Structure 1
Amino acid sequence: MKNKRGVKQMDLSFITEYYMPMVLTASLIIGYVVKKSLDFIPNKYIPLILAVSGAVLGCIVNKTVALEPVVYGAFSGLASTGLHQAFTRLVEGE
């Protein structure tokens, strides 16, 4: 997908079908805390941490341990990583 200036953009409209807003928000907060406070954790492990915490939070939100909440929660946790990167690039002007 391209914007008005012809720059290629990512189409994230499919996310609205699968993400869990509470898990996404909680994952953004967890990722921020891990990145800013826990310097001993390398950045390459943050997506893994958010996927696992998103899966756990997905089960908590749905009050059940099943495949669907685990997958959707992990997806929302990973989406928070991408959302953070998109926001950072938008703010920095890249």
Structure 2
Amino acid sequence: MEFLQTYFNLLIVGCCVVVGYVWTTLTNPEDKSRRFIPLVMAVLGIALACIDSGGVSVEIMLSGAVSGLASTGCYEAFKQLILKPKWITQTETTIRRPDMAHDEKAESEKDEKEGE
């Protein structure tokens, strides 16, 4: 894991996440160009790393590629954890509603007993 951390550039990851997000937002979900996003992010990461360092070497290119590919993983994690897809919210509501109804019934019975 230390190997990847040495070649991880947060600035490049941020730039690639923005470009990937714009690409996915502007294209249709059935668009076949979306399958090339990881490849484009790796190439964009290499280009940004070379510009950032002011030179070209295998180590710089590896750093850019790792950072560009990490951006696709960051985007997916963001999408899964923060934006909460529909299947998570549907599952939560179907699981919680019966429990909530039971809890509300118990609370109303408790309130009735306290009122007496």
TM-score for both structures, normalised by structure 1: 0.76
In structure 2, the residue matched to 1:73 is 64
Q: Which amino acid aligns with 1:56?
A: A
TM-score for both structures, normalised by structure 2: 0.63
Q: Which has the higher helix share?
A: 2
Q: Which runs of 5+ in 1 are unaligned?
A: 1-11
In structure 2, the residue matched to 1:43 is 34
Identity %: 34
- Secondary structure at 1:42's aligned position in 2? helix
Q: Which runs of 5+ in 2 are unaligned?
A: 89-116
In structure 2, the residue matched to 1:28 is 17
Question: Residues 33-82 of structure 1, C-alpha deviation per residue, up to 9 Å, x if partnerless?
Answer: 21112445622110011000000001011110111111110110000000
CA contact (8 A) 2:7 2:62 kept: no
Alpha-carbon shift at residue 17 of structure 1 (Å): 2.7
Task: Count how many residue pairs are aligned between Structure 1 and Structure 2.
Answer: 83
For residues 2-21 of structure 1, the aligned pairs below 5 Å read 15-21=4-10
Q: Partners in 1 of 2:64 and 2:5 — Cα distance?
A: 13
Q: Which amino acid aligns with 2:79?
A: T
For residues 81-92 of structure 1, the aligned pairs below 5 Å read 81-91=72-82, 92=84
Q: Tell me which stretches of 4 or more aligned residues in structure 1 moved more than 6 Å.
A: none
